[in-house]
C-alpha cells in the first residue's frame, strides 16, 4: 500500500466485485421501493456515497466513463429528489 493510499480504498479495491455489485443492487432496490421521504433520503444518501467515490477516482477515469457516471448520478439524484416531493 502506498503512503498516500487510504485504508478504506485499499479494502474496497480488494473486495469481490460480484459481492459489491449485489450489495449495491440491494441498496438501490430498497431505496427505490421504500415509499416517501425515507426512500428519497436513502436514494440521496446512496448518491452522496457514489459522488464521494467518483471524486476520489476522477483522475484515473476515461472521459467517456466520467460522462456516463455523471449522467447516472444525475438520474439518481433526480429520482431521490422526486421521491422527497
Is residue 40 very low, low, confident or very high in pLDDT (cuts 50, 70, 90)? very high
Helices (H), the chain: 7-13, 17-33, 36-57, 63-84
pLDDT in tens, 8-30: 777 777 888 898 889 989 988 99
Q: Which residues contact 81 (CB under 8 A, 6 or more apart)?
A: 40, 44
What pLDDT is recorded for position 2?
A: 55
Q: Considering the entire predicted model, what is its pTM?
A: 0.76
pLDDT in tens, 54-73: 888 888 889 999 999 999 99
User: What is the spatial distance between Cα 27 and Cα 43, in angstroms, rounded to a whole number?
Assistant: 9
pLDDT in tens, 72-84: 999 999 999 999 8
Query: Hey, how many other C-beta atoms are within 10 angstroms of the C-beta on 2?
Result: 6
Higher pLDDT: 36 or 2? It is 36
Crossing angle of helices 36-57 and 63-84, in 10° steps, is: 160
Collapsed DSSP state (helix, strand, coil) of residue 60:
helix
Amino acid at each position: 500500500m502506498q503512503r498516500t493510499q487510504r485504508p478504506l480504498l485499499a479494502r474496497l479495491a480488494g473486495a469481490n466485485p460480484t459481492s459489491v455489485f449485489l450489495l449495491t443492487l440491494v441498496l438501490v432496490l430498497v431505496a427505490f421501493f421504500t415509499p416517501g421521504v425515507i426512500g428519497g433520503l436513502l436514494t440521496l444518501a446512496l448518491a452522496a456515497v457514489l459522488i464521494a467515490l467518483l471524486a476520489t477516482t476522477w483522475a484515473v477515469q476515461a472521459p467517456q466513463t466520467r460522462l456516463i457516471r455523471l449522467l447516472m448520478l444525475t438520474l439518481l439524484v433526480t429520482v431521490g429528489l422526486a421521491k422527497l416531493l
